[in-house]
Amino acid sequence: MRKIIHIDMDAFFASVEQRDNPELRGKPVAVGGSRARGVVAAASYEARKYGVHSALSSKIAAQRCPHLIFVKARFDVYSAVSRQIREIFYSYTDLVEPLSLDEAYLDVTENKIGMPSATIIANQIRQRIFEETGLTASAGVSFSKFLAKIASDMNKPNGYTLITPDKAEEVVAALEIGKFYGIGKVTATKMQSMGILTGADLRERSEEELVRHFGKVGRYYYRIARAQDDREVQPHRIRKSIGSERTFETDLAEEEAMLVQLEYLAKEVAHDMERLKATARTITLKIKYFDFTLNTRSKTFVSEISSADAIFTVARDLLRTPQLPQYPVRLLGISASSLLYQHDRLQEGYQFTLEF
């Protein structure tokens, strides 16, 4: 049985700002935007108590929390801190699968310190993160990625949760369907309309019924309702594309708000490309409108690109071409493809094969 840890930093961007500026500690902070215009990229826990969250209009955020403090995003700092945290992960295991700047899976079944207890390792990591960065993290420990991810969210911030095999089905049965990792808002709403409100309700449905209503992913829903997930932590997965996307709690209608989000996404993609030592020739912008209509726009180059600035510039141009979105946007995504990895470049020049 595997021992999987999911580490999730607490309000990462905002916490970095509060760490670096003592005057912000204990106060409601919004990263990105301003009191007059823009959109919130991240919010501290103090701000979240007032209903301030990412992708919220800055004007609305200021109305909900009149004493909200707006600070400019510093993605270069967040990326540097993220790299520092991942070095801590790698001191315990090479089986690390980053999901974003602020979260990752670790397989510690076999680990570098010979520690049989995943619980002890998770809490050591949390303590080291705090000592070395001044930031807090929450951890979930279990025997699968799905359960570890759920567990890390059960006792935030600065918390720890263990889901043991004998408790797994009980935990999943009691979980609200909207809190299932891998079930988004749209799917959750559809399930709720079908009377599927909890994991216990989901478990009552047959695999055939779930596939009929949700397609192939219905098989995944069938398994996780039974606490079954055999996906491995994939530290060196070679991908055909590298991307990041965000679904917004409030649809975006203004270009400025969309550009703020694209800047964040571009930095996320660039960070992963740097980590994987990859460059790209194609950038794709994904736009999902309020009515779930999907639109993709892409551009391919002769030369390779990898920097956040270059990716953002391409995404911004795609957003405006042939015209800005004419309807409210609920999701934006950027992906880089036609990838070239460093080892391919060294070993095979420009002839390379990418496989999942």
pLDDT tens for residues 194-220?
Answer: 999 999 999 999 999 999 999 998 999
Instruction: Assess contact for 290 and 328: CB atoms under 8 A.
Output: yes
| Token pair 């799905």 in the structure block, residue | 146
pLDDT computed for residue 323 by the predictor: 93
φ, ψ (nearest 5 deg) of residue 215: 80, -160
**Rounded Cα–Cα distance for residues 156 and 356 (Å):** 33
Does residue 346 register a pLDDT over 60? no
- What average pLDDT does the segment 226-237 reach? 88
- What average pLDDT does the segment 86-115 reach? 94
> What percent of the chain has a predicted confidence (pLDDT) above 90?
70
Binding positions are 8, 102
**Rounded Cα–Cα distance for residues 80 and 221 (Å):** 36
- List active site positions: 103
CATH of domain 4-9+79-166: 3.30.70.270
Angle at which helix 207-214 crosses helix 185-193, to 10 degrees, equals 120
**CATH architecture of the domain formed by 168-225:** Orthogonal Bundle (1.10)
Tokens of 182: 């891998």
pLDDT computed for residue 342 by the predictor: 66
pLDDT computed for residue 69 by the predictor: 96
Tokens of 285: 């912008």
Averaged pLDDT score across all residues of the chain: 90
pLDDT computed for residue 298 by the predictor: 95
pLDDT computed for residue 348 by the predictor: 41
- What average pLDDT does the segment 277-288 reach? 93
Does residue 350 register a pLDDT over 60? no
Task: Give the bridge partners for 30, in sequence order.
Answer: 43, 70
* Alpha-carbon dihedral sign for residues 88, 90, 95, 100: positive
pLDDT computed for residue 85 by the predictor: 96
Give counts: helices (H), strands (E), the chain.
Answer: 14, 13
CATH 3.20.20.100, applies to 241-345: no
Does residue 355 register a pLDDT over 50? no
pLDDT computed for residue 288 by the predictor: 92
Does residue 161 register a pLDDT over 60? yes
**CATH architecture of the domain formed by 12-75:** 3-Layer(aba) Sandwich (3.40)
pLDDT computed for residue 238 by the predictor: 62
Instruction: Assess contact for 325 and 315: CB atoms under 8 A.
Output: no
Task: Break the chain into its structural domains and give their ranges.
Answer: 4-9+79-166, 12-75, 168-225, 241-345
Any idea which of 30-44, 74-88, 101-115, 267-281 has the lowest mean pLDDT? Answer: 30-44
What's the predicted TM-score (pTM) here? 0.74
**Of residues 100 and 347, which shows the higher confidence score?**
100
pLDDT computed for residue 347 by the predictor: 40
**Of residues 134 and 56, which shows the higher confidence score?**
134
